[in-house]
């Protein structure tokens, strides 16, 4: 197991046209970082820039110190999972997961790899179902199985479990945690639940007003007084 890559946004400027954003931050390799902050602060944009769905106006994106700014999303060593998990309704669970396979690398071994991944996310025996026959949590597990077969060293999750109830959400976060520790990949998760972030993440990044306002160890981060805007944000969360 090799530790996942550091991911750096180096003086990245980006503007959808309404207000400029500036991100200068490094996500540590081989750990889980929770990205928190008020609505509209730029959290999803950070993931979209890393994944290559948005291109910086200036600055660079480095993954494992390699400049990936001009690479397409498919060429970048990252996988992204969205809240609505991107499953194809007309395909079986097995086919949905095997979309993640790199055919050249795996040739005949594909079916075993897919079955192993389904077993690891607790869905052995679900391979022939269609997504419509699964619960929300099960569908997210299928999306995670696809992440596993893709074997990319970095995983980006944009509020992946927001639609799930608290119990299921905490099961899924525990699963991500276990997979991260098993594979050593770099994980960045956008979350609106700072209290959960202390439990599942190693580090946090706080985004406020389209800038990085602070970062550090996730342990006890919510009490930090030295990060501008953090206590105001935590207060809002409590209301």
Q: Which of residues 30-69 bind ligand ATP (CB under 6 A)?
A: 37, 39-45
Distances in Å between the alpha carbon of 173 and those of 18, 131, 153, 176? 34, 21, 18, 5
Asked if residue 233 lies in contact with residue 223, where contact means CB atoms within 8 angstroms, the answer is: no
C-alpha dihedral sign at 214, 173, 139, 135: negative
- The secondary element (H helix, E strand) that includes residue 234 is helix 230-238
Least gap, CB of 43 to ligand ATP (angstroms) = 4
Distance of CA 216 to the CA centre of its chain: 18
| Kind and range of the H or E run holding 238 | helix 230-238
User: Using the rule CB under 6 A, is 79 a contact of ligand ATP?
Assistant: no
Instruction: Enumerate the H helices of 81-193 as residue ranges.
Output: 93-98, 103-106, 110-120, 136-150, 166-183
Cβ neighbours of residue 156 closer than 8 Å, sequence gap 6 or more:
47, 50, 51, 78, 79, 80, 81, 187, 188, 189
Q: Could you tell me the smallest distance in angstroms from the CB atom of residue 3 to ligand ATP?
A: 27
Nearer Cβ to ligand ATP (150/237): 237
**Count of residues near ligand ATP by CB under 6 A:** 10
Name the residue nearer to ligand ATP (CB basis): 45 or 79: 45
Q: Which is nearer to ligand ATP, 21 or 101 (CB)?
A: 21
DSSP element (H, E) containing 233? helix 230-238
Q: Which residues bind ligand ATP (CB under 6 A)?
A: 16, 18, 37, 39-45
């Amino acid at each position: 197991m090799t530790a996942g890559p550091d991911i750096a946004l180096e003086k990245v400027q980006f503007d959808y046209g309404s207000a400029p954003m500036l991100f200068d931050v490094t996500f540590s390799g081989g750990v889980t970082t929770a990205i928190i902050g008020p609505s509209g602060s730029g959290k999803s944009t950070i993931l979209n820039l890393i994944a290559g769905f948005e291109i910086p106006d200036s600055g660079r994106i480095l993954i494992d110190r390699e400049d990936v700014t001009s690479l397409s999303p498919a060429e970048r060593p990252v996988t992204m999972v969205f809240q609505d998990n991107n499953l194809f309704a007309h395909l079986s669970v097995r086919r949905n997961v095997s979309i993640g396979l790199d055919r050249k690398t795996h040739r005949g071994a594909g079916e075993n790899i897919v079955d192993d991944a389904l077993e690891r996310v607790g869905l052995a025996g679900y391979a022939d179902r269609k997504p419509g026959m699964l619960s929300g949590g099960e569908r997210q597990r299928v999306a995670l199985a696809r992440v596993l077969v893709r074997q990319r060293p970095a995983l980006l999750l944009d509020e992946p479990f927001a639609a799930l109830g608290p119990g299921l959400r905490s099961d899924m976060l525990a699963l991500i945690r276990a997979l991260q520790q098993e594979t050593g990949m770099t994980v960045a998760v956008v979350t609106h639940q700072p209290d959960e972030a202390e439990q599942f993440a190693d580090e946090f990044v706080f985004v406020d007003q389209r800038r990085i306002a602070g970062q550090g160890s996730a342990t006890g981060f919510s009490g930090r007084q030295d990060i501008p805007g953090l206590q105001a944000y935590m207060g809002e969360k409590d209301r």
